[in-house]
Structure 1
Amino acid sequence: MKSLMVITALALTLSAPAASAAPAPALAKPTGDRPVGTAALARGDLFYPAVSASGKRKQFMTGAEAKAALAEAGVTTIPPSALTAVRTDAFVDARPAGRHLPLVVLSSGAELTSLAEELASHGTVVAVTGRTADVPAVLDSLLRSKWAPLIDPSRIGLAGRANTIDAVAADPRVGAGLDLDGTTDGPPPALDRPFLFLGTEARQPDWNRLTGWKRSLVVAGTVSASFTDLGLIGEQLGVGFGATTPAARVQAVAAAYVRAFFDEHLSGEPQPLPAQPSARYPEVGFARTSTPYLPAPTGDRPVGSTSVYLKDTSRPDPWVPSVPYRELMVTLFYPAAASTGPKTQYLTPAESAALLEGSGLDVPPDLLTTMVTNSVADARPGGRHLPLVVLSPGYTKPRATLSALAEDLASHGYAVAVIGHTYENSGQSMPGGRFAGCASCEVPHDSAFWRKLVLGRAADVSFVLDSLTRSKWGSLIDASRIGMAGHSVGGASSLPTMVADARVRAGMDIDGTTEVPLTAPGLDRPFMFVSHQLAATACAPGNEPWERDWAQLTGWKRWAEVAGTQHASFTDVGLLADEFGIDMGATTGGVRTQAITRAYVNAFFDQHLRGEPRPLLDRPGFPEVSFCH
């Protein structure tokens, strides 16, 4: 039993005199605004919102319970008073407040008392039982008892530390389940209801048997005891159990995520915490997920975005000559006046199906329509005369795959135009329900093809600049502060774009082989190369196209390499690979690579479009980054 293992650890490191001399330990104080009441049940205890905080406080363990637990563990050096004296915040037999509240069953006994108090303080009824096997009987009894009016039988959840998933699958009354660093005997059952794993390591090898909403979250620096009251009590008595994250912090993290999970899946209240990583809780990593997400932007401004259709009648389409004009789709990101409103759809169903085709993933074709984004669709802009960064994606990749970077730039006060180069990606939805596939994919990919592709993208960028600066969005943009960055061939097209268009004041190539040589007189504007590590050692020679063009750059320039990354690591594709458990061969994770990419892109444009010096550009600020030149 995990609780007995924790008590045994206490015994090995704590003597009876020290325990009696220390102040009485206390459970984590509930954060909700409601007093908590408690009552004894036949198979445990009930916690609930109370009318007032008055009366006798609940005892954490009785003397008999403490003696029995210590005797079972063979512990003789800790007096039962070390456990019976723990201060709680629930009042015995307090009058209940509320009706038809959600119910959460915690199957772990007294060691989750503080979590029970926390949930109750926020308006949830909590039944604490000793074993998951008792859950059906507890529900039967509660729903037929005097407590029935307090409970909404359509909103029942279960959280526990042993065989939780089996108990959820076995009882259809349980609408959502949560494994709090628990154990499971044997393979899990099939389950189509929401389920969350929260613990010390990534859980559930048979991930595909869970067909509903699912997440596996890992809290760094923890051991199993960190998630229990006994871990918290041990910490107060001077026992750390080997954890590097304090138990009090882990309790706060666990309480926030457990509460958010049940608020969303029992009460239908969308919550950001289970959707994507949060800067408030950097200890929490998203190991596995069913709903893809973009990491939250790091800036302090809400982000809006809108789709813009542009038509260049001065030239035919380079890939479909029968079309006498060039059509482009652009997603414009910008600081928004407010953060409220529906979020931007990542891809249309047709775009999602086209991108996922041939991926080998056993997922619905419209999966990427559910991507959790951070920008508000068609939000009112929150600024004027902003520096503009144009982003160009890699070949065959839709413009949406640079959304994480675009949202981050916008959160720092940039306008960002991400170009969808029509017929050059897996597929793009157009106005009127039209869909443009990858016509260029049918053309032989020889050197002439790549040259045509890169120069065509340069023409696309100039047309986008002409169109945006003369449109209703013109007041959003400072035309004297324009930069460009891109990934793969989108990055490689930055140099030809800058040569052809003097309005682009600074450029960045993110892992793109430069197909069109930069010739004399070269380029005297700021430029930066960023690449994945090409060899076993950092900055090994061999990137001849970059070396060739480096010699022609006469202005400010940098060449950075990011260890442990692969080509797709710098885009949303790298994030998706991690979220779906796809091994791309990268040892630096997608979230980490995205953080590095965002940091350098922001620093580069801050320095060269805003005139704000950034030390990050003079010395590597991340251990994965090497400056090759």
Structure 2
Amino acid sequence: MHASAYFALQTIATLGTLPAIFAKNVVLPIPGGPLQLGTATAVLTDHSRPSWANDTRPRALPISVFYPVGYAPCSGGYLSEYVPQIVSDFENKYFELYGVLAKIDYAAFKSQMYHTCSGGKHHNEYPLLIFSPGYERTRLLYGALAQAVAKAGYVVVTIDHPYDADIIQYPNGEVITTDHETNLTDAELVEIRVEDVSFVLNQLSDKKIARKLVPYDIDTSKVGMYGHSAGGAAAANALISEPRLIGGLNLDGDVTEPVTLVGNGKPFLQFDHGTHTHFNSESLSQMWPLLRGWHEELSFNGTTHSTFGDLALLVNLWGQGNSGNESQVVSHLDGKRVTEVLRVVVTDFFKFLFTGKESKLLKCHNEGYPEITCAITCTPSPEVDCVPE
């Protein structure tokens, strides 16, 4: 099966032209507490591997880092770029059949970040999380969710995978897009991502490199990982080979070998849209009985595959609604609510991973979150209601 199977869009009719009425420099509303964030970007170059089958240059991985800088009062605030204009223009063409998604000026959005912050305690305080995006999707379109997760007290690093991401613009202006001519299988593509994750962890383990990105020490010995689609498959497989990863979360992804053959023994959460579970996905059904550690499967009902990211939020903020063709991509749900639900599930899982405190939501008790149901049978108790699929 070709890697593009991870992200397929149906061909449907184009909506009429929508007026561009959105202002520039609109700050993204990031849910979460008062913890303030800083950000950095970098390109980490692995000289031991080629960039791609058709590009023999060293593999250069763009990353974004979102990190807590303490609580107010903060100083040095600035509006950081959500995506560059060239990425916004590319996405408009990419989504040309999908209504509002083809009209949004993605570069109009900004994120409120801080250079410095007084009064924060930093040294090894915030666990590290790695994020891998969906196939044919830039890490940049998951930045709002990454910030929401970081505000819960995590250093979040998002990775772009060259020739796998839909578009990457490097600091020197070079642009590369997805290589659609590759003969890689899904498993081979995911394995490259796993190698990318290990390389990034190696780089962040070097304090000189890490301190150029984050103004305090970070612990790379115990790391969590989450990913969407092919990124979720990468998380599942990276748990097998990467000892620094202690648990993983798959956002609506099918998986590939080797996890379908050997499973793993680390905590693992599968979070799917309502009609995609291990009961009807061949790869998930192969993996599920092989999981030996804590594992759970939750469903986000009423969503689509691409709801698991920032797109639903951006459609909401654009103000044109999501009742047209764009709903085929982002669903009909309110985008702000989508981001809040994603934030809660992701942060609940990583709180459990790093503290052992399992929330009621992870035990299938969905009070306050009726959109979420438990896709497997859990163990009922006086405190927990099991909600099977």
The interval holding the TM-score normalised by the smaller chain is 0.7 to 0.9
Residues 1:581 and 2:321 are matched in the alignment: yes
What secondary structure sits across from 1:344 in the alignment? strand
Alignment partner, residue 57 of structure 1: none
Q: Residue 395 in 1 paired to residue 114 in 2?
A: no
- Amino acid aligned to 2:347: N
Could you say what secondary structure the match of 1:342 adopts?
strand
Distance in 2, matches of 1:575 and 1:409, equals 15
The residue that corresponds to 2:384 in the other structure is none
How far apart are the structure 1 equivalents of 2:49 and 2:302?
42
| Separation in structure 2 between the aligned mates of residue 329 and residue 460 of structure 1, nearest angstrom | 11
Residue type of the partner of 1:313? H
- Residues 143-162 of structure 1 mapped to structure 2, 5 A cutoff: none
Residues 546 and 519 (structure 1 numbering): CA distance in 2 closer, same or farther, change over 3 Å?
Answer: closer
User: Are 1:413 and 2:153 matched, yes or no?
Assistant: yes
Q: 2:288 aligns with which of 550, 555, 573?
A: 550
1:611 corresponding residue in structure 2? 356
- State the match for 1:148 in structure 2: none
The match for 1:441 is: 180
Question: Is the 2:225–2:249 Cα contact (8 Å) retained in structure 1?
Answer: yes
Q: Shift of residue 463 of structure 1?
A: 0.3
Aligned-partner residue type, residue 328 of structure 1: L
**Which residue is 1:478 aligned to?**
219
Aligned-residue RMSD, C-alpha = 2.7
Q: Using a 3 Å threshold, how does the CA distance of structure 1 residues 422 and 462 change in structure 2: closer, same or farther?
A: same
1:469 equivalenced with 2:208 (yes/no) = no
Q: Cα deviation per residue 1:18-43 (whole Å; 9 max; x = unaligned)?
A: xxxxxxxxxxxxxxxxxxxxxxxxxx
Query: Over alpha carbons, which structure has the higher Rg?
Result: 1
Partner SS for 1:372: strand
Assess if the C-alpha contact under 8 Å between 1:353 and 1:365 holds in 2: no
1:340 deviation in Å? 4.3
1:624 to 371, 375, 389: 371
Partner amino acid, structure 1, of 2:222: R
Amino acid at match of 2:95: S
Cα 1:512–1:402 shift into 2, 3 Å: same
Q: Secondary structure at the match of 2:225?
A: strand
- Contact kept, 8 Å, 1:483 with 1:506, in 2: the verdict is yes
Q: Which residue of 2 aligns with 1:190?
A: none
Alpha-carbon spacing, 1:481–1:363, altered in 2? closer, same or farther (3 Å): closer
2:243 is the counterpart of 1:502: yes
Amino acid at match of 1:624: E
Q: Which residue of 1 aligns with 2:12?
A: none
Q: Counterpart in 1 of 2:336?
A: 591
Deviation at 1:212, TM superposition (A): 4.4
CA distance in 1: counterparts of 2:45 and 2:352, whole angstroms = 33
Deviation at 1:292, TM superposition (A): 6.7
Alignment size in residue pairs: 339
Alpha-carbon contact 1:429-1:436 (below 8 Å) kept: yes
The correspondence of residues 183-222 of structure 1 with structure 2, limited to 5 A, is: 208=18, 212-213=21-22
* Counterparts in 2 of 1:362 and 1:577: CA distance versus 1, 3 Å: closer
Residues in 2 aligned to 1:555 and 1:531: alpha-carbon distance in whole angstroms: 19
Q: How far apart, CA to CA, are the structure 2 residues paired with 1:340 and 1:615?
A: 38
Q: Is the 8 A contact 1:393 1:489 kept in 2?
A: yes
Contact 1:387 1:414 in 2 (8 A): yes
* Alpha-carbon distance in 1 for matches of 2:207, 2:66: 15
Gaps of 5+ in 1: 1-205, 215-289
Q: 1:352 deviation in Å?
A: 1.7
Q: Do 1:457 and 1:493's aligned partners in 2 also have CA atoms closer than 8 Å?
A: yes
3-state SS, counterpart of residue 599 of structure 1: helix
- Aligned equivalents of 1:511, 1:379: Cα separation in 2: 36
Q: Does 2:191 align with 1:458?
A: no
TM-score, structure 2 length as denominator?
0.79
Residues 434 and 549 of structure 1: CA distance in aligned 2, closer, same or farther (over 3 Å): same
Superposition deviation, residue 520 in structure 1: 5.6
CA distance in 1, matches of 2:164, 2:78: 29
TM-superposed deviation, 1:454: 0.4
Q: Deviations over 1:509-542 (max 9, x none)?
A: 000111324156531110000000117xxx6931
**For the residues of structure 1 that align with 2:336 and 2:89, how far apart are their CA atoms?**
24
User: Are the structure 2 counterparts of residues 549 and 374 from structure 1 closer, same or farther at C-alpha, using a change threshold of 3 Å?
Assistant: farther
The answer as to 2:80 corresponding to 1:344 is yes
Residues 466-500 of structure 1: per-residue CA shift (max 9 Å, x gap): 00121432643122330000011111111111111
Which moves more between the two structures, 365-374 or 481-490? 365-374
Distance 1:597 1:213 in 2: 25
SS at match of 2:249: strand
Match among 12, 28, 40 for residue 306 of structure 1: 40
Q: Which has the higher contact order (CA 8 A, sep 6+)?
A: 2
Asked whether the equivalents of residues 77 and 113 of structure 2 are also in contact (C-alpha less than 8 Å), the reply is no
- Aligned residue for 2:231, secondary structure, equals helix
Encode CA deviations 1:600-625: one digit per residue, 9 max, x unaligned.
11010001123333222112321111
CA distance in 1, matches of 2:299, 2:104: 35
Q: Indicate whether 1:327 and 2:69 are aligned.
A: no
CA displacement 1:55-82 (0-9 Å, x = unmatched): xxxxxxxxxxxxxxxxxxxxxxxxxxxx
For structure 2, the residue ranges without an aligned partner over 5 or more in a row are 1-15, 377-389
> 1:461 is paired with a residue of what secondary structure?
helix
Alignment of 1:367-386 (within 5 A): 367-376=105-114, 379=116, 382=120, 383-385=122-124, 386=126
- Comparing 425-434 with 391-400, greater Cα deviation is found at 425-434
